[in-house]
């Protein structure tokens, strides 16, 4: 009897250890292992068509490399379209065949400067959003906000075909200009919604507070512009028009 009891205790210990080990195994969801790393194309598709789930996963494991690639691609596309527009405007206004070759020679320099500016804007904007979210009670990490800001810019890649239409037909075409304006507004709203979702999931805020976090930098920039215009107007008003300048009549 004592031997049977001993074997029963051994079986109980083994069973308890197996149950404990089973609890430590990540649970499966519909798409496989929970927290499984996503590929770049999966992240792109998720940001555009399933942003809530994608941002939830990005909050847990920020895909900084994917965000870096997206920011880089958007910067290069913006540089290319800007140079094309520049070349078209000047070739129309000036009858000079040297504009296009000069523009081509500037591509590496302008692209490098554009990349640096894009990275600085990405880092600075992410830092501001992280600070504001933290002040409003957020509990997320800076890496998550950094990734969310980079991923949220992805819809702007869809603006490239409309920009090319503007380059091809010219911005003096009213229909093309209106179409480009509406497309830009729609894509900005789309990107803003994705960013709000990213802030909400990263910092575990309510949707309302996430919207406030998103709006505050724009409000601060607008307020700074107003104060700058007021300061400029006050500065101009302090100087009389009839200044005592030699030779002034």
Tens of pLDDT, residue by residue over 180-236, are: 899 999 999 999 999 999 999 999 999 999 999 999 999 999 999 999 999 998 888
For residue 125, give its domain range: 36-238
In a domain, 70, yes or no: yes
Q: Which residue stretches of the chain have pLDDT < 70?
A: 1-38, 86-105, 240-249
In a domain, 5, yes or no: no
Q: What per-residue confidence (pLDDT) applies to 248?
A: 45
Q: What per-residue confidence (pLDDT) applies to 209?
A: 95
In a domain, 202, yes or no: yes
In a domain, 142, yes or no: yes
Residue 232 neighbours by CB distance under 10 Å = 10
Q: How many domains does the chain have?
A: 1
In a domain, 171, yes or no: yes
Q: What per-residue confidence (pLDDT) applies to 33?
A: 35
Q: What are phi and psi of 29, to 5 degrees?
A: -115, -165
Q: Is 184 exposed, middle or buried (0-12, 13-18, 19+ CB in 10 A)?
A: middle
- The answer to whether 193 touches 55, Cβ cutoff 8 Å, is no
In a domain, 158, yes or no: yes
In a domain, 24, yes or no: no
> 33 has which bridge partners?
28
How far is the CA of 71 from the CAs of 11, 16, 116, 213, in angstroms?
57, 50, 11, 21
In a domain, 247, yes or no: no
Q: What per-residue confidence (pLDDT) applies to 85?
A: 72
Q: What per-residue confidence (pLDDT) applies to 237?
A: 84
Which residues, at least 6 apart from 204, have a Cβ–Cβ distance to it below 8 Å? 138, 139, 140
Output 102-108 pairs: Cβ under 8 A, ≥24 positions apart. 107/79, 107/80, 107/83
Q: What per-residue confidence (pLDDT) applies to 168?
A: 81
């Amino acid at each position: 009897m004592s031997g049977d009891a001993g074997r029963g205790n051994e079986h109980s210990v083994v069973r308890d250890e197996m149950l404990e080990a089973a609890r430590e195994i990540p649970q499966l969801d519909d798409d496989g292992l929970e927290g499984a790393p996503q590929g770049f194309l999966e992240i792109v598709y998720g940001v555009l068509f399933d942003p809530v789930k994608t941002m939830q996963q990005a909050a847990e494991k920020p895909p900084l490399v994917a965000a870096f690639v997206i920011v880089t691609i958007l910067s290069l596309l913006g540089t290319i379209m800007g140079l094309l527009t520049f070349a078209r405007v000047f070739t129309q206004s000036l009858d000079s065949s040297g504009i296009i070759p000069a523009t081509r020679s500037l591509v590496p320099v302008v692209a490098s400067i554009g990349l640096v500016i894009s990275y600085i804007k990405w880092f600075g904007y992410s830092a501001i959003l992280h600070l504001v979210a933290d002040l409003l009670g957020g509990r997320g990490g800076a890496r998550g906000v950094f990734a969310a800001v980079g991923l949220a810019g992805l819809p702007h890649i869809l603006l490239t075909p409309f920009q090319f239409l503007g380059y091809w037909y010219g911005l003096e075409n009213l229909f093309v200009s209106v179409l480009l304006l509406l497309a830009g507004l729609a894509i900005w709203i789309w990107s803003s919604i994705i960013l709000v979702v990213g802030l909400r999931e990263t910092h575990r805020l309510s949707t309302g507070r996430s919207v406030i976090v998103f709006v505050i930098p724009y409000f601060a920039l607008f307020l700074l512009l107003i104060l700058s215009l007021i300061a400029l107007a006050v500065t101009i008003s302090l100087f009389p028009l009839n200044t005592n300048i030699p030779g002034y009549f």
